[in-house]
């Protein structure tokens, strides 16, 4: 005990356990989420976190103001007509269902199956829009094709239908701009970054004049399975269906020259998903469907009628 100015202070060593007072009411007892409680809570999504970080300021005269908080992300808004109408951003396509896609031939758009089919029936897809010239030009659709792996969903929590969330749209007439070739997703870790461009709903109408903007992003791959790519690229509603592409080197020429680098579509962005980890913990990822050799052959068959006409790097 130490005595100082008639006040007594108790000194505890590190071995002593602290004591806590009992809660004064039932409301106090149920109003605080402790360590175990918080560890079991799912992480906040971006929108909810922004809402909670928004704040109110009260001034001495009693007036109040509210300030919204917007978190920065890794997306780039492409609005200049010089860039938006040139490769690779010109391959981005917006569907009337609110999804994105990628031009993989003058008459074909690759997108996510859920943008066209809900697993039970087809959605109403009026048209696709491409970024030809400076304005969005409507292009009528002739047909679309979806893998049976998506259409016949397994009634199970561990359904594999997400592995087949891709589809192909055929346009009634070809468009003029350059398309992006298909490729097979590499099995090794040689690809450092993935890229995709789409029409995120929160970014593509910023000027309020109906003038579309393409939203581009890139990031590294967090995890991969045989059929899916797990990553944390920033994306919002409207970007689903976008073509995920990488830079791949062509095979060396006969004279030993190094092959040229090419952009190839190796996946389709499927959207945000909660994924069960090996330990049972739920983790959130943005997920893309990998184009495997068999999927590559299937999509090429849809485009050309003969998978041998497609070349892969």
Domain ranges in the chain are: 76-309
Cα 291 from Cα 295, distance rounded (Å): 6
Pick the most confident of 145-159, 243-257, 260-274, 279-293: 260-274
CA 299, 305, 310: angle at the middle one, nearest 5? 60
pLDDT score of 128: 61
The 10s digit of each residue's pLDDT in 102-140 is 999 999 999 999 988 877 777 766 656 554 433 345 666
Cα 241 from Cα 286, distance rounded (Å): 12
Sign of CA dihedral 46, 51, 52, 56: positive
Q: What is the pLDDT confidence band of residue 4, given thresholds at 50, 70 and 90?
A: very low
The 10s digit of each residue's pLDDT in 184-210 is 998 866 677 899 999 988 876 644 445
Sign of CA dihedral 208, 209, 210, 212: negative
Q: In the beta sheet, which residues pair with residue 285?
A: 273
Average pLDDT over residues 305-312: 72
Residue 234 pLDDT more than 80?
yes
Report domain 76-309's class.
mainly beta
Q: In the beta sheet, which residues pair with residue 195?
A: 218, 245
Helix (H, G, I), strand (E, B) or coil at 272: strand
pLDDT score of 227: 92
From the list 149, 105, 167, the residue with the least C-alpha distance to 130 is 105
From the list 78, 33, 54, the residue with the least C-alpha distance to 199 is 78
Q: For a pLDDT cut of 90, what percent of the chain falls above it?
A: 27
* 49's tokens: 């976190």
pLDDT score of 300: 92
Helix (H, G, I), strand (E, B) or coil at 136: coil
pTM higher than 0.85, yes or no? no
From the list 102, 153, 96, 152, the residue with the least C-alpha distance to 124 is 96
pLDDT score of 5: 45
Cα 292 from Cα 184, distance rounded (Å): 6
Pick the most confident of 11-15, 238-242, 246-250: 238-242
The 10s digit of each residue's pLDDT in 166-181 is 999 988 888 888 999 9
The 10s digit of each residue's pLDDT in 48-100 is 777 888 888 888 888 998 888 766 677 888 777 777 778 999 899 988 888 99
pLDDT score of 116: 86
Q: What is the pLDDT confidence band of residue 37, given thresholds at 50, 70 and 90?
A: confident
Q: How many CB atoms lie within 10 A of CB 44?
A: 12
Cα 104 from Cα 30, distance rounded (Å): 56
pLDDT score of 266: 95
């Amino acid at each position: 005990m130490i005595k100082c100015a008639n006040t007594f202070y108790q000194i505890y060593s590190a071995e002593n356990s602290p004591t806590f007072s009992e809660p004064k009411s039932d409301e106090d007892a149920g109003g605080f989420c402790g360590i175990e409680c918080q560890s079991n809570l799912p992480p906040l999504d971006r929108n909810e976190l922004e809402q909670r970080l928004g704040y109110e300021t009260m001034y001495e005269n009693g007036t109040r103001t509210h300030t919204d908080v917007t978190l920065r992300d890794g997306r780039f808004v492409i609005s200049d007509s010089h860039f938006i109408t040139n490769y690779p951003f010109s391959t981005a396509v917006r569907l009337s269902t609110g999804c994105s896609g990628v031009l993989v031939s003058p008459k074909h758009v690759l997108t996510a199956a859920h943008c066209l089919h809900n697993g039970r029936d087809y959605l109403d897809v009026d048209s696709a829009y491409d970024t030809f010239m400076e304005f969005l030009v409507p292009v009528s659709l002739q047909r679309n094709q979806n893998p049976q792996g998506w259409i016949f969903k397994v009634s199970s929590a561990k359904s594999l239908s997400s592995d087949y969330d891709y589809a192909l749209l055929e346009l009634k007439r070809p468009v003029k701009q350059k398309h992006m070739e298909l490729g097979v997703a590499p099995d090794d870790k040689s690809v450092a970054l993935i890229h995709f461009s789409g029409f995120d709903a929160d970014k593509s109408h910023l000027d309020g004049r109906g003038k579309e903007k393409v939203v581009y992003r890139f990031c590294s791959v967090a995890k991969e399975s045989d059929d899916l790519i797990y990553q944390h690229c920033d994306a919002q509603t409207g970007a689903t269906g976008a073509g995920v592409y990488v830079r791949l080197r062509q095979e060396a020429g006969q004279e030993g020259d190094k092959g040229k680098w090419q952009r190839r579509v190796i996946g389709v962005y499927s959207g945000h998903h909660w994924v069960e980890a090996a330990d049972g913990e739920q983790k959130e990822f943005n997920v893309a469907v990998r184009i495997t050799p068999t999927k590559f052959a299937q999509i090429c068959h849809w485009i050309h009628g003969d998978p041998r006409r497609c070349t892969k790097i």
